[in-house]
Amino acid sequence: AGGPHPQEWIITKAQETAHRLHRDQVRKSGGLPYISHLENVANIVASYVADPEIIAAAYLHDTLEDTSYKPSQLKADFGARVLRLVQSVTKPNKDIKAYLANIANADTALIAGADKLDNTRGMREVTDWSVFNYSPIEKVRQYRLVSHKVAAYWPDLAKEIDRQLSLVEKRLLPL
């Protein structure tokens, strides 16, 4: 009883892998090293659950979309469950409907929600929206859809996403 979780190593390995794969990337929302986003998402996830595989997937959630890391390598390094979790929060061809359909359980909802919460906090600092694939209004609309899915499993997390989105909207659309 007590003691460290037998799979605790997976979090450290995921953190190291994320650092290596994203080392030269910066955030669009403010120029911070990209790893800061992955650390934030993993920390948000860890504040809700202690499951090492879910926390590892939080660190790795952007690797398939934004790096040369292949699904076969991720599976070999971290196992089938972590691969499934990462794939479930990878937006296929920027398709929001497919992304929303993948948020079908508490684990994926938690990672997706943590990702959107951190992104939404960063959106409040954006001054140049031209670096994004979507207009700020469209981005907020999509994040509200994600928040709605997250609310089915993690209502407090969804409430915080919505609160942050309201702050973004106030900044974008001052009355």
Token duo for residue 59: 């660190």
Residues paired with residue 26 on neighbouring β-strands, in sequence order: 33
Handedness of CA 29, 31, 32, 37 (dihedral sign): positive
DSSP string, the chain: --S--TTTHHHHHHHHHHHHHHTT-B-TTT--BTHHHHHHHHHHHHTT---HHHHHHHHHTTHHHHSS--HHHHHHHH-HHHHHHHHHTS-GGG-HHHHHHH--SHHHHHHHHHHHHHHHHHHTT-S-GGGSSS-HHHHHHHHHHHHHHHHTT-HHHHHHHHHHHHHHHHHHS--
Catalytic member of 16, 66, 95, 156: 66
User: Does the annotation mark 156 as catalytic?
Assistant: no
Catalytic member of 8, 24, 51, 65: 65
User: Does the annotation mark 162 as catalytic?
Assistant: no
State the catalytic residues.
65-66
